[in-house]
A = this chain, B = another copy of it.
Amino acid sequence: MEENIVVAIQDEYSDDFAWCYGCGRLNEEGHHFRTCWQGEKTVTIFSPEARHLALPGFVYGGIVASLIDCHGTGSASLALHRKNGHEPGEGAEPPRFVTASLNVNFIKPTPHGVPLKAVGTVHEIHPKKYKVETEVYANDTLCARGEVVAVVMPSTFLKKE
């Protein structure tokens, strides 16, 4: 389970798009989810903090949902970036996605104290719309399955102050 994500797609989001509480590198208080390719799958690894409890010993479902959410938009970004001929680490700015829908099925209580690994399978359903199916593991135990439909962020999201 000990794995290291060297370059994640979120490392290359433009600064304007790097404030997300889930995955923004510039949000100092956020979770800093980071997502990369692992063969044809996508992977995000996250170790919940002490406060992220449902009950003592188990991880809060909203954190699992958050992991699936940003893993989904990050995976969609990886996929479209690759389709455009780029890989993380090249320095090209990746496309930024937002979540249209998020579905989570909680299969087993998620144990607290071990890293969680989200593994995603990406499907293009439209040039600007991707579906990402995700499994969340704690060690070898499948704890949750999720599905995110992610769409390329509309330009209206960039709020000019």
A64–B156 alpha-carbon span in the complex (Å): 20
Q: Does A29 sit within 8 A of B, measured CB to CB?
A: yes
Kindly state the interface size class of chain A when it binds its partner. Answer: 35 or more
A147–B156 alpha-carbon span in the complex (Å): 27
Are the CB atoms of A21 and B66 closer together than 8 Å? no
Q: Does A159 sit within 8 A of B, measured CB to CB?
A: yes
The 4 closest A-B pairs by CB, nearest first: A62-B66, A57-B159, A21-B60, A29-B51
Q: How many copies, total?
A: 2
Task: Mark the stretch among A79-87, A98-106, A128-136 that contacts chain B.
Answer: A98-106
A124 CB to nearest chain B CB (Å): 20
Are the CB atoms of B27 and A53 closer together than 8 Å? yes
Are the CB atoms of B106 and A98 closer together than 8 Å? yes
In the complex, which residue of chain B has the Cβ closest to the Cβ of A29?
B51
